[in-house]
Homo-oligomer: A and B are copies of this chain.
């Protein structure tokens, strides 16, 4: 296969305001041929430079109404234009520029980068197969300072971890879900109206006044998925990975001090992650 990544900015005006979308687009092609590998015959090869041009021209002509729509349009363009393409996947992620506000007034042309979770999407198609669409959020760093434990786990002679019922739960979340076969969705509407991001944060945190006890990273990952599936009907399957950061309460006995979970240090090794994929028929591939 061949792969190509390009980063660019798409500007347009809405009224007097500038609207900016900066995206990174990765185009991934597989051809029906093998002659370029076996014989050095390049006659069917689409240069990465051409792939780049297509991405830029499409962005110029169509704009980027939503990143999902742009990924779909790119997919269709490649499938339609090049009969030698056997498979195409397009990945688009957005640089999280936010409009600046001064005393609540939105600025017409100034932006700040706020990377509290990166929105991305994918569109994928095999020749003669359906075009399927995915969306997701990554690099979302979350922490619960309490209401988290880990008890009753499997023990044997290699177990040294004590049971804990009040630890810190902290990690970086990756979530990706499938919208199934490409349909005429308003993807930003799903994102914003159905508040997928809020669903995730809500399931991670529990109610604001009391939270909700997490018996494990695994259960929290599952709760996030269940919440999204139950509230966003367009989501077919959802996958979530939580890359954990563990924090240890520092033992200060030798320093003559009692540390009652007030000072903690992140433990960089070992780090772990847990992942789970959940679909509508309650099929679980843990």
Is A184 among interface residues, defined by CB-CB distance under 8 A? Answer: no
Is A5 among interface residues, defined by CB-CB distance under 8 A? Answer: yes
Query: What's the Cα separation between A245 and B147 when bound, in Å?
Result: 35
Q: Is the CB of B257 within 8 A of A45?
A: no
For the complex, would chain A's binding face be called helix, strand, loop or mixed by DSSP majority?
mixed
| Residues of B contacting A97 in the complex (Cβ-Cβ under 8 angstroms) | 143
CB neighbors of B among A115-163 (8 A): 115-116, 140-147, 150-154, 156-161
How many residues of chain A are within 8 Å of chain B by beta carbon? 126
Residue of B nearest to A54 (CB): B158
Is A232 among interface residues, defined by CB-CB distance under 8 A? Answer: no
Is A76 among interface residues, defined by CB-CB distance under 8 A? Answer: no
Is A193 among interface residues, defined by CB-CB distance under 8 A? Answer: no
**Residues of A in contact with B (beta carbons under 8 Å apart):** 1-12, 18, 20, 30-31, 33-34, 36-54, 56-57, 59-61, 81-82, 84, 97-98, 100-102, 105-116, 140-147, 150-154, 156-161, 168, 198, 201-202, 204-211, 214-216, 218-219, 221-222, 244, 247, 250, 252, 254-257, 259, 261-266, 268-276, 284, 286
| 28 A-B contacts (beta carbon < 8 Å) | A2-B273, A4-B270, A9-B168, A31-B286, A34-B286, A36-B216, A40-B215, A42-B152, A42-B216, A45-B216, A48-B272, A50-B160, A53-B159, A56-B263, A60-B257, A60-B262, A82-B154, A100-B205, A102-B201, A102-B205, A102-B208, A108-B211, A110-B143, A110-B145, A111-B145, A114-B116, A116-B116, A265-B269
